[in-house]
Amino acid sequence: MFQLDPVLRRDSILVGSLSLCELRLINDAQFPWFILVPRRNNITEIYQLLDEDRQQLMAESCLLAETLHDAFTATKLNVAALGNQVSQLHLHHVVRYDTDACWPGPIWGKFAAVPYTDKKLAEILQKVQVLLSDDLQLPGDDVDLYY
């Protein structure tokens, strides 16, 4: 069974499941910031994925990036597999604006997270869940099995 890293679980909220990946929202209201986490254990680098998983990750990343770019009218998407702090493979997708607090630098490690209010959290989750509804399986009762 897939095991999600406890730090990723603590710092993010499940948006839903794509074919390969969990889509999760980082709980930091300063940036629309999502991660894709392939449901594969013991993988730390993209190249360790099987070829079909690599292609699926590319497809899911592009779907998410284009959706976010349009929905949030981004200046730029930042897409990155870093993993220096949490080695379990996760692919960041960060909506950047040329007016945001870190622009044009990277966001990682810069500011402490500012958690969403309940209202803002519900809004952004619903927005993305609606936009990706053709491909996204929403969290259900079975989530308790591993969350």
User: Where do contacts with its own copies occur on this chain (CB under 8 A)?
Assistant: 44-47, 54-55, 57-59, 61-63, 65-66, 69, 75-85, 87, 96, 103-106, 108-109
Q: Name the minimum Å distance from CB 133 to its own copies.
A: 19
Q: Name the minimum Å distance from CB 75 to its own copies.
A: 8
Q: Name the minimum Å distance from CB 77 to its own copies.
A: 6
Angle (CA) 140-63-28 rounded to 5° is 65
> 3-state DSSP call for residue 12?
strand
For its own copies, give the closer residue by CB, 87 or 117: 87
Q: Cα-atom radius of gyration of the chain, to the nearest Å?
A: 15
Name 16's bridge partners: 23
For its own copies, give the closer residue by CB, 95 or 116: 95
Separation of alpha carbons 128 and 122, rounded Å: 10
